[in-house]
Amino acid sequence: MPKRLIKKITPDHHTVRSHKHLQIFGTLLHDPNLFHMNRRSISGAFAVGIFWAMIPMPLQMVAAAATAILVRVNLPLSIALVWITNPLTMPPIFYANYLIGTWLLSTPDMEKGFEVSMEWIAQSMDQIWQPLYVGSAVSGILFGILGYVIMRLMWRMHIITRFKEKRARAKQQKTLSP
């Protein structure tokens, strides 16, 4: 079940509440709804976390936390999903976002001299920022929606499977009892 797996991989509420970068939210972190594991909260957390993971900016976790608090979805999962973009995955993801942005804006890409490194991106930011951020916003929205829909479907399929198993067990017990 996704719920058990999600509980296993996300930090507990005490760890999240005591994180130094999240102290700016103060008592807003004490809302119990931010730590619930239900279909709405988990799928919303996927949308929030994946969206902010696609946006190239420092402190993505804080942005994901603020959004999770605002829309009242699972806070630990929203923060954890931001780590989709980590130092290993950032260059290829942001390069793909850049290519999407150049395609959407119909601008030529800077293929010559391109390096898959954060240093190159930082040095070329004045030339690539517009296609990078347009592509990042579009891919963040699309992948966020995709994550939301997939989690809703997975949760629903699990509920249906559990219901069928429960019905089969009840039917089996009924046939076994005299």
pLDDT in tens, 94-110: 889 988 999 999 888 76
Return the domain boundaries, the chain: 2-176
| Residue 33 vs residue 93, higher pLDDT | 93
For 1-54, the pLDDT digits (tens) are 456 766 666 666 667 667 776 777 777 777 777 887 888 999 999 999 999 999
pLDDT of residue 133: 92
- Residue 126: the pLDDT is 80
pLDDT, position 1: 47
Q: What is the 3-state secondary structure (H, E, C) of the chain?
A: CHHHHHHHHCCCHHHHHCCHHHHHHHHHHHCHHHHCCCHHHHHHHHHHHHHHHHCCCCCHHHHHHHHHHHHCCCHHHHHHHHHHCCCCCHHHHHHHHHHHHHHHHCCCCCCCCCCCCHHHHHHCHHHHHHHHHHHHHHHHHHHHHHHHHHHHHHHHHHHHHHHHHHHHHHHHHHHHCC
Mean pLDDT of 129-148: 94
Kindly state the average pLDDT of the residues 80-101.
90
State mean pLDDT over 145-155.
94
- What local confidence, expressed as pLDDT, does residue 10 receive? 67
What mean pLDDT value characterizes the chain?
84
pTM of the model: 0.78
61 or 27: whose pLDDT is higher?
61
